[in-house]
Structure 1
Amino acid sequence: MKTLIALVTAAALSVVAGIAQARDLGPDEALKLRDAGTIQPFETLNAAALAEYPGGKIEETELEEEYGRYIYRLEVRDAQGVQWDIELDASNGQVLKHQQDD
């Protein structure tokens, strides 16, 4: 029983530590990163996301730092009205993930 409690506690701490590794960046910090060339211009990132869904529209964006990596998250509604969640590496514009929103 003690082993089970220890495993559950360790798992819970791992989840909390993982959550703590991601942080939202405000507009001022995001602009500083863009101006320093650390991340791609937002127009470039938006174009990369929309290239996945021609005729789509961006509904929401967010920049996060996660494990030392800048992730640009977007919600895009495609031409058929389906909403997609897209994640890009903000430093190079590479699409990391795109999935239909639930």
Structure 2
Amino acid sequence: MKTLTALFTTVALVTSAGLAQARDLGPDEALKLRDAGTIQSFEKLIAAAIAKHPGATVEDTELEHEHGRYIYQVELRDAQSQQWDLELDATTGQVLQDHRDD
């Protein structure tokens, strides 16, 4: 019984730790961060993403607080209909990840 309780406790701790690592931010909170200068403007972040794939169109965006930093996720579709997933540091505008979505 103690082993089973320990197992459930471990699973609960690991699961809750993972949830605490990344948190989606709503539009109101995102605008407050932008207005405070904590993150770049959304126009600048989108421009940085499109600069990696000129002519692409934005399909979706999302702002998260993950591992102590703000990450702006952008989904693009290029002229060849390829979908790209990019992650940018929302504070600096640096592209952190850029990969084709299969």
TM-score, normalised with respect to structure 2? 0.85
Of all paired residues, the percent bearing the same amino acid is 69
1:72 counterpart SS class: strand
- 1-structure distance, mates of 2:10, 2:32: 37
Query: What pairs with 1:29-40 in structure 2 (closer than 5 Å)?
Result: 29-40=29-40
1:39 counterpart SS class: coil
- 2-structure distance, mates of 1:76, 1:40: 19
Q: How many residues are treated as equivalent by the alignment? A: 99
- Give the root-mean-square deviation of aligned CA atoms: 2.0
In structure 2, the residue matched to 1:61 is: 61
Residue 74 in structure 1 maps to residue 74 in structure 2: yes
- 2-structure distance, mates of 1:64, 1:91: 12
Which 10-residue stretch deviates more, 69-78 or 9-18? 9-18
Distance 1:95 1:11, change over 3 A: farther
- 1-structure distance, mates of 2:12, 2:50: 37
Structure 2: any 5+ residue segments left out of the alignment?
Answer: 1-5
1:44 counterpart SS class: helix
